[in-house]
Structure 1
Amino acid sequence: MHQLEISDLITAVEPRSGRRLPVRRAEVIQQLRESGDERAVRIVAELPSDRDGVLDPHVVDRLLISVHTELQRLSEELRVGERLVHLLGPLFTAIRSTGARSGPYRLVDVGCGLGYLVRWLAATNALGADVELVGVDLDAALVGEAERLARAEGLGCRFVHGNAFDLPEAATVYVSTGVLHHFRGPALAEFFQVQAATPAHAFCHYDIAATRLAPIGAWVFHHARMRHPLGRHDGVVSARRAHSDETLLRAAAAPGIRPLLYEPRGSVNPFCTTLRPVIGVRPYLEAPLRLALGRAARRLVGPEHLAEATG
């Protein structure tokens, strides 16, 4: 049975409205116990609840903001912003070259958390002034903190509490970091299908690379950098839940989308690879994207490449 991430269980919202729902501590403990994770049970048992056994939402919010703040430091150390721009820059170059739209373009970060990526892109202007930067999350507390940080830093980006696929304005490109492993079974393919059904030109989703060393690396990083046991626990579990290259490419093969993987598992050093993206582009964008990537285009492969490598 798959281990569960505590942070996925201690908050609950309606998927469409984002309205917060009460979470009973005993129910969370039962789910964790059924998954065989007694360490997680002990962590949740220490969280305060009211007389009805509902977890204190204010304590949960403060805890998740604290954990996400530490995750931001990890993102800074791993140079996540630079890694994404390495692909997002050529991707927007390819989109501009098609002349399909004169701008402004819109990048939407799905499950943005504290908005580190969006704020980093705004601070560096790495994608250009014609790209609007929007972060979206179902967690109101995280969005509120992202907005506060953006105001304090004087950044030209915005954050929305809600569903990233229900925005009134169409996205040009959807991105995410560390989100894909939260989707299990059919939900993973549905995640990509929803994006394929929008007017978006492409998506680029970074997640933990499912290498044999990923759980060990996650343990080292999170124990060195995370103070709260919840952050340490979820960091290791997320690495164990990472999807294989084959799973991602199959799921991303939505109608009207050409699925691609950058730096597949078999072509990289497992000691150095922590994150890698699955990309989906409209078929007419693949050639311009490869041209914009230059020599790095050799690292971009489709499902047929993996079939040959494993055949």
Structure 2
Amino acid sequence: MHQLEISDLITAVDPHSGHRLPVRRAEVIRQLRESGDEHAARIVAGLPTDQDGVLDPYAVDRLLVSVHTELQRLNEELRTGERLVHLLGPLFTAIRSATGQPGPYRLVDVGCGLGYLVRWLATTNALGSDVELVGVDLDATLVGEADRLAREEGLDCRFVHGNAFGLPEAATVYVSTGVLHHFRGPALDEFFQAQAASAAHAFCHFDIAATRLAPLGAWIFHRARMRNPLGRHDGVVSARRAHSDETLLRAAEVPGIRALLYEPRGAVNPFCTTLRPVIGVRPHLEAPLRRVLGRDARRMVGPEHLAEATR
């Protein structure tokens, strides 16, 4: 049975209206105990509720902002921004050359949380002034805090509460960090299908590499760097829930998209690999992207490569 992340259970949002829904603490505890996670159940049992047993939304919000603030520090240590730009830079260069169209182009960060990636890109201008930076999340509190931080830092970017695939403006490239493992089964397929059905040219989603050492590494790193019990718990569970290379490429290989994996599991050192991306491009963009990447293009493989490796 798959373990569950506490943060996925203590908030609920109506998918159509975006309005927050009440969450009963007893129901969350029941789900965690049924998954065999008594430790997580004890963490949730300590969260405050109202007289009807509904989790206090303000306490939950404060908790999640605190956890995401610690996650931001982890992203800084892991140099997540630099890792993304290593691929996003060439990707936007390929799009510019292939389309021949002037900007602005639009990068949309799906499940942006506190907006670390978008704010880092705005601070560094790493993708160029013709790329508009937008962060989107279903959690209104996290989006509000991301917007506050961006205004405080005087950054040219924006944040939206809602569905990233329902924005009125078309995205050029969708990105995410640490989001894919939250989608299971058909939901993962639907995630990629929504992007294929959009006007986007490409996507680049970074998530935990499903190596044998990932859960142990996550436990050590989160114990050393995170103070909040919920953050420590969910960080380790995230590593256990990470999708295999085969699962990601199978889900991302949808009509109109060429699915590619950068640094597949069998080609990297499991002691050093923490995050790796699955990339999707419109077929006419693959050759320009490989040209821009140069020698690094050898690290990018499609489903046929993994099929040969498993024979």
TM range (shorter): over 0.9
Does the residue aligned with 2:256 lie in a helix, a strand or coil? coil
Match of 1:305 in 2: 305
Match of 1:279 in 2: 279
What displacement does 1:16 show?
3.0
What displacement does 1:228 show?
1.0
Does the residue aligned with 2:40 lie in a helix, a strand or coil? helix
Match of 1:56 in 2: 56
Does the residue aligned with 2:107 lie in a helix, a strand or coil? strand
Alignment of 1:1-311 (within 5 A): 1-99=1-99, 101-311=101-311
Report the AA paired with residue 79 of structure 2: R
What displacement does 1:226 show?
0.9
Report the AA paired with residue 137 of structure 2: D
- CA distance in structure 2 between the partners assigned to 1:66 and 1:167 by the alignment: 28
What displacement does 1:100 show?
5.1
What displacement does 1:17 show?
2.5
What displacement does 1:15 show?
1.8
- CA distance in structure 2 between the partners assigned to 1:84 and 1:62 by the alignment: 28
8 Å CA contact 1:17–1:163 kept in 2: the answer is no
- CA distance in structure 2 between the partners assigned to 1:244 and 1:99 by the alignment: 33
8 Å CA contact 1:16–1:162 kept in 2: the answer is no
| Change beyond 3 A, Cα 1:164–1:100 | farther
- CA distance in structure 2 between the partners assigned to 1:101 and 1:20 by the alignment: 40
Does the residue aligned with 1:107 lie in a helix, a strand or coil? strand
- CA distance in structure 2 between the partners assigned to 1:135 and 1:101 by the alignment: 24
- CA distance in structure 1 between the partners assigned to 2:252 and 2:110 by the alignment: 16
Q: Which runs of 4+ in 1 moved over 4 A?
A: none
| RMSD, aligned CA | 0.6
- CA distance in structure 2 between the partners assigned to 1:215 and 1:25 by the alignment: 27
Report the AA paired with residue 120 of structure 1: W
What displacement does 1:274 show?
0.1
- CA distance in structure 1 between the partners assigned to 2:18 and 2:222 by the alignment: 29
Does the residue aligned with 1:176 lie in a helix, a strand or coil? strand
Does the residue aligned with 1:31 lie in a helix, a strand or coil? helix
What displacement does 1:103 show?
1.2
Does the residue aligned with 1:174 lie in a helix, a strand or coil? strand
- CA distance in structure 2 between the partners assigned to 1:10 and 1:141 by the alignment: 14
Report the AA paired with residue 51 of structure 2: R
Does the residue aligned with 1:89 lie in a helix, a strand or coil? helix
List per-residue Cα deviations over 1:200-250 (Å, max 9, x = no partner).
Answer: 000000000000000011001111111111000000000000000000000
8 Å CA contact 1:106–1:172 kept in 2: the answer is yes
List per-residue Cα deviations over 1:3-23 (Å, max 9, x = no partner).
Answer: 000000000001233210000
Report the AA paired with residue 165 of structure 1: F
- CA distance in structure 2 between the partners assigned to 1:254 and 1:186 by the alignment: 13
- CA distance in structure 2 between the partners assigned to 1:225 and 1:60 by the alignment: 21
8 Å CA contact 1:29–1:45 kept in 2: the answer is yes
What TM-score comes out, normalization by structure 2 length? 0.99
Does the residue aligned with 2:3 lie in a helix, a strand or coil? coil
- CA distance in structure 1 between the partners assigned to 2:258 and 2:18 by the alignment: 31
Aligned length: 311
- CA distance in structure 2 between the partners assigned to 1:193 and 1:84 by the alignment: 22
- CA distance in structure 2 between the partners assigned to 1:18 and 1:219 by the alignment: 33
Report the AA paired with residue 223 of structure 1: R
8 Å CA contact 1:107–1:173 kept in 2: the answer is yes
Report the AA paired with residue 283 of structure 1: P
What displacement does 1:302 show?
0.1
8 Å CA contact 1:172–1:200 kept in 2: the answer is yes
Report the AA paired with residue 277 of structure 1: P
What TM-score comes out, normalization by structure 1 length? 0.99
- CA distance in structure 2 between the partners assigned to 1:21 and 1:173 by the alignment: 31
Does the residue aligned with 1:13 lie in a helix, a strand or coil? coil
What displacement does 1:99 show?
2.3
- CA distance in structure 2 between the partners assigned to 1:112 and 1:101 by the alignment: 27
What displacement does 1:89 show?
0.2
Does the residue aligned with 1:188 lie in a helix, a strand or coil? helix
Does the residue aligned with 2:118 lie in a helix, a strand or coil? helix
